[in-house]
Amino acid sequence: MFSGKLRSALVIGGQGIRARKLRTFLSMVSLFLGVLAVVTVQAGAEIAERAMLTDVELQAGKDGTVTGYIPGEKGAPGIVEATLKGRADAVAMISSKAIIGEPGLRPINEGGMPFEYANRGGDYQGPMVYCDAGGVCQEQKPQEKKPDGQAIEVSMVALTGDIRPFKPFRPVSGTWLDFASAPSLAPRIVLNEEAAKGLRQYRVPGEMMIDGATHHVTPQIVGVVEDGYPQPRVYLRLDELRTWMPAAAASSELDRFRGGGTGLEVYLQPGSHDLQQLLKAKLIGAGVDQKQVEFRVVNSKERMESELKIMRLIFLGMAFLVLLIGVAGILNVGLATVGERVEEFALRRAVGMSRMLLAGIVLAETLLTGLLTAALAIGAGAAGLQIALTLFGHRFPSLQGTTFPWEAGVAGVIAGLVAGVLGGLIPAIRAARIPIATVMRA
């Protein structure tokens, strides 16, 4: 019985919409901007969340990735390298400093600083005091200043495997490192954008000096990536580096105090508990402090969730205010339509139509209007997003591959239904209360 009444209400409501095309159009115009605002806010929030998460993933790693930061001392780099050799479920990044350009000279960006700060200010001439774990402090002599030259300092990152499943580096030009091919005698390197900027800005010889290497290296630049780091970095295969540098340079607390030494990061797939325990056992057995061997799971989305939620609620509140204007428009048109159709509704009541079905007819008209408006707003939002990506997508690499989020479509449908109910409820109640005697006065 209920399904029959529902079907009748929808059919008669559709006929009413067809009979009053102009008023339906005016209702849709007043509602369109409100629904479009909800769709835009929801789509914008989803896209902003993905873009923010993607930028964080460049540095911290994808959500769920297990990361470990290990001091590069007491043979830790060699232990990690041997343990992860040939494994696809874990990658190690062994970092150290390198200089590209003229040997024996002071780099333009000493310390590996971003190039916008290079050659600014003088050297600090005050004393440097280093205190070890036992509390013994001693003043450090300033290092001998080298003559300025055409050279740049970079952070050199040697990889045991492809890091991109853990950190989604975005290609800018060229290619990424090919780990399937045989090692090359001339190491292939990939620059980040800051390192590429330095090589474009300064004409330096293609020679790379690495601490601990037996000879200076002539690298092959094969590509440029966006990695999210403001400092200049270069990436290369660890097995190609080993041709020139048989083992990682040992580092100490003093090296780290001075900003040098070897850094070691490990990235593992979720569920790698056995591998974590194996690494811990080997490192602790080699003398590495147990407190310095820790693994944690990357959970960037949870950390950003609160601020994203607040931002979304603020903009959704503004969008619903615009939506209420559209609801008011539907309400006014609905009340005017009911006033004009008093005799029609009274006649329907006189021939036996129930009050519930009469209210359902009016409510069906506003619901159908809301759904049609939602469909148009969703279509306009999706088309607008594609146009915006086509025109401005190249300026924002984090938006590459973005598609219209289905969450925005669902939000648009819900907004259309809510607007239809709110705008049609009062006219539906008024239509249901029309007395049968009204047809006699007509």
* b/e 71-103 (16+ beta carbons within 10 angstroms → b): bbbbbbbebbbebbeeeeebbbbbbbbbbbbbe
249-308 confidence digits (pLDDT tens): 554 444 444 445 578 899 999 888 888 899 889 988 888 888 888 889 888 777 777 777
Q: Widest CA span of the chain, in angstroms?
A: 109
Out of 194-208, 323-337, 404-418, the most confident range is 194-208
Q: Cα–Cα distance between 51 and 233 in angstroms, integer?
A: 23
Provide the pLDDT confidence category of residue 192 given band limits of 50, 70 and 90: very high
Region 63-68: mean pLDDT is: 89
Neighbours of 403 (CB within 10 A): 10
Domain boundaries, the chain: 2-58+302-441, 66-297
Nearest-CA neighbor of 423 among 303, 349, 327, 283? 327
Which pLDDT does position 195 carry in this prediction?
Answer: 92
Neighbours of 245 (CB within 10 A): 21
Out of 52-61, 159-168, 372-381, the most confident range is 159-168
Contact 91, 267 (CB under 8 A): yes
Region 216-230: mean pLDDT is: 89
Report whether pLDDT(119) > 80.
Answer: no
Q: Cα–Cα distance between 431 and 419 in angstroms, integer?
A: 19
**Which residue is listed with tokens 């003043």?**
139
* Secondary element (H or E) of residue 312: helix 300-340
Provide the pLDDT confidence category of residue 440 given band limits of 50, 70 and 90: low
Q: Please give the model's pTM, rounded to 2 decimal places.
A: 0.67
* Secondary element (H or E) of residue 383: helix 355-392
| 173 DSSP β-pair partners | 224
Region 392-410: mean pLDDT is: 72
Cα–Cα separations (whole angstroms), residue 303 to 101, 108, 166, 329, 405: 41, 38, 18, 41, 22
Which pLDDT does position 438 carry in this prediction?
Answer: 62
Query: Can you spell out the DSSP letters for 44-70?
Result: HHHHHHHHHHHHHHHHH-STT-EEEEE
Name the pairing type of β-strands 170-174 and 220-226.
antiparallel
Provide the pLDDT confidence category of residue 439 given band limits of 50, 70 and 90: low
Cα 237 to chain centroid, rounded: 27
Report whether pLDDT(130) > 50.
Answer: no
Q: Cα–Cα distance between 53 and 62 in angstroms, integer?
A: 8
Provide the pLDDT confidence category of residue 237 given band limits of 50, 70 and 90: very high
Cα–Cα separations (whole angstroms), residue 232 to 8, 153, 305, 378: 70, 8, 31, 43
